Structure 1
Amino acid sequence: MNVGIGLPIGDPTTLLDWARRADSGPFSTLGLLDRLVYDNPEPLVALAVLAGATSRIRVQTEVLLAPLRDTALLAKQAATLDRMTAGRLVLGLGIGGRDDDHQVTGIDMRTRGRRLDEQMAVMRRLWSGDPYGDGVGPIGPRPARPGGPEVLFGGFKPAAIERVARWGDGFLAAAPLSWAGGLFDTARRFWKEYGRDGAPRIVAQANVALGPDDVIHDARARMHAYYAFTGMPDRMTAGLLTTPAAIRDTITGFTDLGADEVMLYCYGLDPTQVDRLADVV
């Protein structure tokens, strides 16, 4: 089982410390959330900095809100980061669900799923080296990974999970252990229906905080603020894992469901959590 670290978004200046600790530990991936109308770092910019400060660990957007971005520019940014990291980029994509993020970019929320499908068709073509079209040539650079960086899709509804089989390489499941299994099965079913070889890569997510009371309190407060828009932040923070036993049990549970990787997402800023989580892993 691969285990990654989901980075906190509260203070970008701490992330280099987090990344270097994780790179020297047992972790497989660094993940970073995406919002626009929020006090968080822009993930592609931040992960580019972190990739330059590390040597082996993968960098993953989880999830990048692709419909908010220009398609050709996003394709070029992703290809550049993938090429310069020798294939360490994992591009986790989703459509987002916050009105304000879409309002400031002028994107109609009602068509964001369709827009993502259209974006994927263009980006797959560009990453393969084909012309953009309509008299416009190719857009480089060619990514390190043939056909483009690894693409994972997040979501909960069947239409979102179907996108995994149509355009992607795997599924990001930001769901608790108690009902993640059904989402995994749906992703695998669509994969077979589309005649894809093998199986989709399944990446699970658990929210964690490990350390003294002040670290756990900081994580709960920041997580509560992040999920305030849902109207049920208390329910979200109730699932925060705060003991080594709970974290180990959850990793084991996702392993039993067939997950390939578990991302341990942190909201508290203390970077020594990386060392404590390394001991758990």
Structure 2
Amino acid sequence: MAPMLVLALAGCAMAAPVAEAAPPLPFIDAHVHLNDEAMQLELMREYGVERAVVFWGRNSDNASIAASVQRHPDKFIAFASISPERSAYRRAWDASDVALLRDLDEMLATGHFKGIGEISAVHFPSPGLPEADYDPSASLLVGILELARKHRLPVLVHIEWTRMKEFSALLKRFSDVPVIWAHGGYTPLFIAQRMLAQHPNLFYELSARTWPLHPRSPDYTILRDGAAVWPAWLALIEAQPGRFLVGTDASHRSRASEAMKHASVQAFLSQLSPAAREQVGRGTLLRLLTPAAAP
């Protein structure tokens, strides 16, 4: 090649604009166990998370969650939890001790908390968490939803699909209370379709369902190959975007694991139409956080 041509091509290459990476798609995270405030804020900046619903995890409690929200009211939305993951609460759940509800009522009366949850009433065992299998239609969950009704707040519940009969009874009894279903109970598609059709007050939250691989079971995700959403799931979400919302299930065990969770939400949102993305990424949750919101 002639020297002048080589120089000309090199000059063109140097002058060619470098394509910038697309900015992350904005969303509000509906599911964060706030164990590391600094890491969470860093992840939010990096992955386009405008705000996050936060509740306690292994290194936090309701008081520390309220304090984090006071420090960052434009970033965090506090939910109060009396979930049986905590040993002190589990004893009360085992005894069906409704005195626990007084503690929750007092927390909600402060106005610091904009919802209740996560309440893991039916949860298969996982590392650090013994199995929970409490009747969703029994006194404690009934009392929790009564408080949600009283304070006009949404409730985030973790109820896996072995207790659908009792869960349905609870949803029917409190048809005026918005219930966010954490991880959608890890249900298969058919159960998701049925429950959404039967219960207008139920909202299907997708945290951990968008991960490329779930450590407990490969069929817990809604992805067919670790990346693409199954067409049938995509069709359901596109048909009812106001019934779905996204979350990461962040817990801050490692920076790498949290990056994976946030990247998975970005990958999922990129597969939705713009109108559905706005609802699933932000709109559904914002409506549920409005005190006047009703199914």
Instruction: Identify the TM-score tier after normalising by the shorter chain.
Output: 0.5 to 0.7
Q: Which amino acid aligns with 2:62?
A: L
Q: Give yes or no for the alignment of 1:47 onto 2:49.
A: no
Partner of 2:32: 7
Displacement after TM superposition at 1:71 (Å): 0.8
Query: Distance between the aligned counterparts of 1:249 and 1:43, measured in 2?
Result: 39
RCO higher in structure (CA 8 A, sep ≥6) = 1
Normalised to the residue count of structure 2, the TM-score between the two structures is: 0.52
Partner of 2:52: 29
Structure 2 unaligned residues grouped into runs of 5+: 1-25, 94-98, 270-295
> Is the contact made by 1:90 and 1:152 (CA closer than 8 Å) also made in structure 2?
yes
Displacement after TM superposition at 1:158 (Å): 2.3
CA deviations 1:103-157 (Å, max 9, x no partner) are 9xxxx967674122442376357x4xxxxxxxxxxxxxxxxxxx33222433222
Displacement after TM superposition at 1:269 (Å): 1.9
Query: Distance between the aligned counterparts of 1:176 and 1:166, measured in 2?
Result: 19
Displacement after TM superposition at 1:274 (Å): 7.4
Q: Secondary structure at the match of 1:264?
A: coil
Partner of 1:64: 83
Partner of 1:186: 195
Identity value in percent? 7
CA deviations 1:8-55 (Å, max 9, x no partner) are 67xx3x233304642783345335576xxxxx1345344323322321
Displacement after TM superposition at 1:172 (Å): 0.6
Partner of 1:16: 38
Residue 164 (structure 1) aligned to one of 154, 166, 171: 171
Query: Distance between the aligned counterparts of 1:179 and 1:160, measured in 2?
Result: 16
CA deviations 1:192-249 (Å, max 9, x no partner) are xxxxxxx543323325668xxxxxxxxx8xx85xxxxxxxx4x2698597x9944798
Q: Which amino acid aligns with 1:95?
A: A
Displacement after TM superposition at 1:159 (Å): 1.2
> Is the contact made by 2:184 and 2:204 (CA closer than 8 Å) also made in structure 1?
no
Q: Which has the larger radius of gyration?
A: 2
Q: Give yes or no for the alignment of 1:76 onto 2:106.
A: yes
Q: Which amino acid aligns with 1:269?
A: S
Displacement after TM superposition at 1:169 (Å): 0.7
CA deviations 1:164-200 (Å, max 9, x no partner) are 3423312314248871452353244144xxxxxxx54
> Is the contact made by 2:121 and 2:135 (CA closer than 8 Å) also made in structure 1?
no
Partner of 1:269: 254
Displacement after TM superposition at 1:263 (Å): 1.5
Q: Secondary structure at the match of 1:162?
A: helix
Quickly say closer, same or farther: Cα 1:251–1:21, change in 2 above 3 A.
farther
Structure 1 unaligned residues grouped into runs of 5+: 35-39, 128-146, 192-198, 211-219, 225-232
Q: Which amino acid aligns with 2:112?
A: M
Partner of 2:203: 201
Q: Where in structure 2 are the equivalents of 1:206-217 lying within 5 Å? A: 206-207=208-209
Which deviates the most, 18-27 or 151-160?
A: 18-27
Partner of 2:237: 255
Q: Which amino acid aligns with 1:76?
A: E
Q: Where in structure 2 are the equivalents of 1:108-187 lying within 5 Å? A: 113-120=137-144, 123=147, 127=150, 147-155=151-159, 156=161, 157-167=164-174, 168-175=177-184, 179-187=188-196
> Is the contact made by 2:78 and 2:112 (CA closer than 8 Å) also made in structure 1?
no
Q: Secondary structure at the match of 1:153?
A: strand
Q: Secondary structure at the match of 1:206?
A: coil
Normalised to the residue count of structure 1, the TM-score between the two structures is: 0.54
CA-based RMSD of the aligned residues comes to 4.8
Query: Distance between the aligned counterparts of 1:200 and 1:31, measured in 2?
Result: 20
> How many residue pairs were aligned?
218
> Is the contact made by 1:91 and 1:151 (CA closer than 8 Å) also made in structure 2?
yes
Q: Which amino acid aligns with 1:255?
A: I
